[in-house]
Structure 1
């Protein structure tokens, strides 16, 4: 078997989207050598490891997730992932947005969005239900209902920590961090260095580093890369060519974007962009 064929055999990823669940992205993947770089999502992340072991950091905590484990990541929480054993891991994940989870919270009578205090959950019944719902390809109505039920059960059983994503919403570090974010978002293609951010906030470069670590649990460089990939992902929902997206979001060229994108998303921009939608069965207002 050639090296390319062996790599294809041991690593595979397929993404689909379900319009009836707010264009919910669902990924089924098997990885051995792939490693996710530290990144965030504006959405939740839920997944079930179906084989092997994943090693991952969520927020400031390190975890091992063996087969049968449920992974739960709150919006904006930094996380990564890599193999936790020699054979790697296989899993199914989905990325529900806050609108969908808010609908679930309303149905449960929660006062705010469900927040998950633990990143790795053990509940064999929910793990089986999640995998079943995820596997209902080609059955949009059945999949919509099954996924809603299992997400509601997850929120009901484990999502009791309601409130804001970040407990601290005031103070000078938070104010400065918001300023850094505004500067970066205003021109993602610009070259940034610590001195520029420090000058804007009136602090030292060391304070900038501390602010990112305290507030985002990321380095400034990790945060910048994360925001560039999120912006590139949004542009990939348009017809804009990948080469132009790369330039607009601060990457050297299309190949640079492709390399970094795969470390965050687990598949190439072309595969992510071409993921087939699953049509909604009812209209959504």
Structure 2
């Protein structure tokens, strides 16, 4: 059973999550720990990305990198329908390494938050079909062949990277990444960054697109998502991930992902 408007399937053996959605929901700014590649099937949306504001229409491919801050809102107030494949970073890293085996530089991120290209759309459709029926050997082979083809489209003519922040903000980010459940404060992060609190907030926001507190919340939310997927009771997952209680976790879960932790915990989606 699925929450109205969303269908979720986790294929742990393939390192992939499938999300199919039909919703008029507006999503808050958030991050994922996976690479995401998908397609708008109906309607249109506007979203923030690591490369600024973008708009996607029916037929367009959409993509995001791990840790890339984004949101999403329907255009015209109407529902839009889309489907996404979320890949574990290790799987995409292996594909990138394979693509660079000819001596070319190894890519590290997807370049296009929105892409309208017929060949890329065909490649995504083929990959989606292959992943949706992973028990078939021919389909698995098709997926292995199609993924690098699709990635090549999403890597062409890569635009410049966003302006990097200072080393201090990077140190603060690393501190959060190392242990998101630690009782970190802005004062402690600023001390470790050797910046004033104001300087840290400004530099950190430039680096990640989020304030230190908002980024810490995102990292805890990703941890909670892992724990829920692993079968931990929701209240225990909330406490372990550093949330005040289950309702606190659930509120942010729905706000960022569009579905409840209870739905995500249900087997056999």
TM-score (norm 1): 0.79
**How far did residue 176 of structure 1 move?**
3.7
Q: Distance in 2 between matches of 1:157 and 1:238?
A: 34
Question: How far apart in 2 are the matches of 1:243 and 1:62?
Answer: 36
Bigger shift: 136-145 or 208-217?
Answer: 136-145
* 1:47-126 alignment, distance < 5 Å: 47-109=38-100, 110-126=104-120
Deviation at 1:87, TM superposition (A): 1.4
Distance 1:92 1:14 in 2: 9
The structure 1 residue matched to 2:147, chosen from 151, 156, 165, is 151
Q: Kindly state the Cα deviation for residue 244 of structure 1 after the two structures are TM-superposed.
A: 1.5
* Gap change, CA 1:215 and 1:248, over 3 Å in 2: same
The equivalent of 1:282 in structure 2 is none
Residue 27 of structure 2 contacts residue 255 of structure 2 at CA under 8 Å; is this kept in 1? Answer: yes
Shift in Å at residue 184 of structure 1?
6.6
What displacement does 1:187 show? 5.4
Is this contact kept in 2: 1:39–1:80, CA < 8 A?
Answer: yes
Match of 1:231 among 218, 223, 232: 223
Kindly indicate whether structure 1 or structure 2 has the higher relative contact order, using CA contacts under 8 Å at least 6 residues apart: 1
Q: Provide the C-alpha distance between the structure 1 equivalents of 2:8 and 2:141, rounded to a whole number of angstroms.
A: 19
Which runs of 5 or more structure 1 residues have no equivalent in the other structure?
Answer: 1-7, 278-285
- Where does the alignment leave 5 or more consecutive residues of structure 2 unmatched? none
Deviation at 1:17, TM superposition (A): 2.3
Q: Tell me how large the CA RMSD over aligned residues is.
A: 2.8
Deviates more, 1:51-60 or 1:233-242: 233-242
Give matches, 1:208-247, under 5 Å. 208-247=200-239
1:272 aligns with 2:264: yes
Mapped pair 1:205 → 2:197 = yes
The structural deviation recorded for 1:125 is: 3.5
For the 8 Å contact 1:134–1:143, the answer to whether it is kept is no
Counterpart among 22, 35, 47 of residue 44 in structure 1: 35
Matching residue of 1:25:
17
Q: How far 1:106 sits from its partner (Å)?
A: 3.5
Whole-angstrom distance in 2 between the partners of 1:100 and 1:180? 24
The 8 Å contact of residues 96 and 106 in structure 2, kept in 1 or not, is answered as yes
Report matched runs for 1:158-169 at 5 Å. 158-160=154-156
Go from structure 1 to structure 2 and tell me whether the alpha carbon gap of 1:153 and 1:48 turns closer, same or farther (over 3 Å shift). same
Count of matched residue pairs: 260
Q: Kindly state the Cα deviation for residue 19 of structure 1 after the two structures are TM-superposed.
A: 4.0
- 1:101–1:53 CA distance, 2 compared to 1 (3 A): same
Equivalent position of 1:140 in the other structure: 135
* Alpha-carbon distance in 1 for matches of 2:119, 2:173: 43
